């Protein structure tokens, strides 16, 4: 009977230790999520956002590789952020060299390979994986409005800890946050570009108006220096002279109104500004 008690106690200790380890890992996940949210909220440039996420995931898991890819054409994607080499920003990658990455892009589903050395999907690249001492791999698609726009690629070495199911769920949460952050960054860059275009168009229109008025002023000044126009105007009937004065007054009034309201109408009529006023659809 005492032997059974000792066995039960040992089992309970093992169970509690496993639970403590699981809770510690969940705590690490929460801390990493908060850190990532704080860091990406301070930037609206997608390259900085992706590099921050790749670095934080690499640090959290102590990874051999932590990378983020964005979709290209059917056979290629672009490596835009890398934990092991932050200088890599836009490297073309052939999907045929990474079957797990290819499946994630094509299926839109998370690919989890606990042991790459025995997984059938990795059979054709087993030699390269052995040389790099790869243990487990997780590839999580990044989606925006239902479409796969990228993927988070994580890989551990043989000596490191394998990914758990909770690790995979954590990576899926981060991939969801990444997709939303990229969408916000895209909106910001689009709005910023639109505002710059509106400002440039307004500036061009103002310069055109100034040039036209300067031309008319110089033309009239040059004409006014000649005595010939005085004699010519005396040939006009009185009614014609009065009509010309009226037309000049109307034209000056139109110019004044145009100077006050044209820029406001031009800016408010721009599609990008209208969308910004309406808010996100």
The predicted structure's pLDDT at residue 30: 80
Contacts 24+ apart (CB under 8 A), 129-135: 132/64, 133/64, 133/157, 133/158, 133/159, 134/64, 134/158, 135/160, 135/162
The predicted structure's pLDDT at residue 162: 79
Please tell me the CATH code under which domain 2-182 is placed: 3.30.450.40
Tokens of 280: 């996100």
Tokens of 56: 């934080």
Residue written as token pair 């230790």:
17
Q: Give pTM, 2 decimals.
A: 0.60
Tokens of 160: 């490191």
What are the residue boundaries of the structural domains of the chain, listed by start? 2-182, 190-278
CA dihedral 55→60→63→66, nearest 10 degrees, is -30
Contact 148, 175 (CB under 8 A): no
Tokens of 172: 């899926």
The predicted structure's pLDDT at residue 4: 53
The predicted structure's pLDDT at residue 273: 33
Contact 149, 70 (CB under 8 A): yes
The predicted structure's pLDDT at residue 202: 78
Handedness of CA 155, 161, 166, 167 (dihedral sign): negative
Helices 165-224 and 238-268 cross at an angle (nearest 10°) of: 170
Q: Profile the chain (281 residues) by mean pLDDT over runs of 10 residues.
A: 62 78 78 79 76 89 89 82 87 90 93 90 86 90 88 88 87 90 74 73 76 70 59 63 72 65 48 41 48
Cα distances from 41 to residues 57, 127, 182, in angstroms, run 17, 41, 11
For the chain, the 3-state helix, strand and coil shares in percent, each to the nearest 5, are 65, 15, 20
* CA separation for the pair 121, 179 (Å, rounded): 27
């Amino acid at each position: 009977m005492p032997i059974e008690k000792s066995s039960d106690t040992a089992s309970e200790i093992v169970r509690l230790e496993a639970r403590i380890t699981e809770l510690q890992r969940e705590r690490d996940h929460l801390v990493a999520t908060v850190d990532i949210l704080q860091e990406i909220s301070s930037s609206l440039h997608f390259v900085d956002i992706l590099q921050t996420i790749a670095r934080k995931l690499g640090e959290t898991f102590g990874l051999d590789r932590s990378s983020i890819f964005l979709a290209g054409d059917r056979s290629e994607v672009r490596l835009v952020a890398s934990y092991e080499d932050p200088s890599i920003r836009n490297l073309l990658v052939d999907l045929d060299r990474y079957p797990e990455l290819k499946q994630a892009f094509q299926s839109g589903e998370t690919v989890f390979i606990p042991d790459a050395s025995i997984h059938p999907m990795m059979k054709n690249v087993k030699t390269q994986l052995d040389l790099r001492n790869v243990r487990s791999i997780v590839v999580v698609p990044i989606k925006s409005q239902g479409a796969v726009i990228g993927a988070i690629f994580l890989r551990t070495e043989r000596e490191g800890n394998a990914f758990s199911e909770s690790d995979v769920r954590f990576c899926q949460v981060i991939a969801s946050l990444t997709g939303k952050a990229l969408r916000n960054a895209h909106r910001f860059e689009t709005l910023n570009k639109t505002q710059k275009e509106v400002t440039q168009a307004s500036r061009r229109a103002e310069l055109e108006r100034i040039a036209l008025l300067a031309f008319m002023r110089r033309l009239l000044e040059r004409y006014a220096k000649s005595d010939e126009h005085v004699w010519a105007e005396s040939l006009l009937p009185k009614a014609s002279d009065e009509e010309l004065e009226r037309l000049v007054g109307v034209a000056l009034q139109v110019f004044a109104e145009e100077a006050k309201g044209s820029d406001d109408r031009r800016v408010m009529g721009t599609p990008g500004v209208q969308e910004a006023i309406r808010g996100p659809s």
